[in-house]
Structure 1
């Protein structure tokens, strides 16, 4: 008697003599491929979100490939659904039923995501065309419309870059100030310990005054560092804006 992994199918998209295990492995491979393709489409769609053309127009081969892979997965699920029902052992039959249902659910989820992606791209393309037509009627020049879109995209990218640089500079300043604060606390504790030791040793007041002057110098150095950090942050912000 054939085991659950040796049940043989003869139709569908798998071809004759293909086992249930082979169909399942093929479906899992296609799921990974489809998921990767959909993620690439989403990245292309995000990159072209501010341009008048859509990623669906610029990568039709990838879109069609993902669509074909999902259709093939669903076809394999149909074949596997017929095969697992012929497994004699109930435990193995229930196991394969869950596996096939899981693959089918993932394939349907990918199909829904692909359809939503397609609708989103089509809607974005239509909106871009409507804006182009509106501006074209006002200005009478389609090249001017395209130049406006390019300027907007470059401006948005520049703003995002400037914002990231300002955030990095701010984070650096905060880290430096925090470090100064930690060093100040360490110095205070060290000075208190040193003063206690010096008092116990009976050192002269001149030595204590020298230590106090050094403390004031360190404090001015700390303030100067904070001011320099703030100036650097302001200069970076003005340079990027």
Structure 2
């Protein structure tokens, strides 16, 4: 199971590296990158289905931790799917905007033509609307990226909390005799601390009195 999980994690990292390249490419290059990402997402989905089966075969002491890993992998897949869909929509809008500009430039303009004036007005309105959509998609992309970073941070915090919980559980499973021994040792340490504190105070007071006189 661990091997399959780490393979899936590598696919997640690969997709995260590929996503920014969609914005830096156009046309067939961007489409090819999108197809590569979709293929990796399908592979992650297939791995998750296998991991769901393997989790139930884990030992009870490891099953909970294994389930947490698979659930986190599902969250990563969902975030990546949302990100690629947003980028695809953004690229389509960009392509449409470019096509509209090219069409506008290829038009034959005639002086004092009402039809030409109306066409220019419509094209400008369309261009303005596309720019608004472009800005909205940029905001959504930034929000999605922030959420993904937040999930990664939460995953690290959750792992630390889980390790602490395992440590506490291990401590609670100690025998009663060991627990009593720990309690006696704690009491002895407490008395020793108080004794040393009182002795230190006496020495300080004595030294202070001696140097004053």
Tell me the TM-score normalised to structure 2 length: 0.48
Report the structure number with the largest CA radius of gyration.
Answer: 1
Write 1 or 2 for the structure with the bigger share of helix: 2
Tell me the TM-score normalised to structure 1 length: 0.42
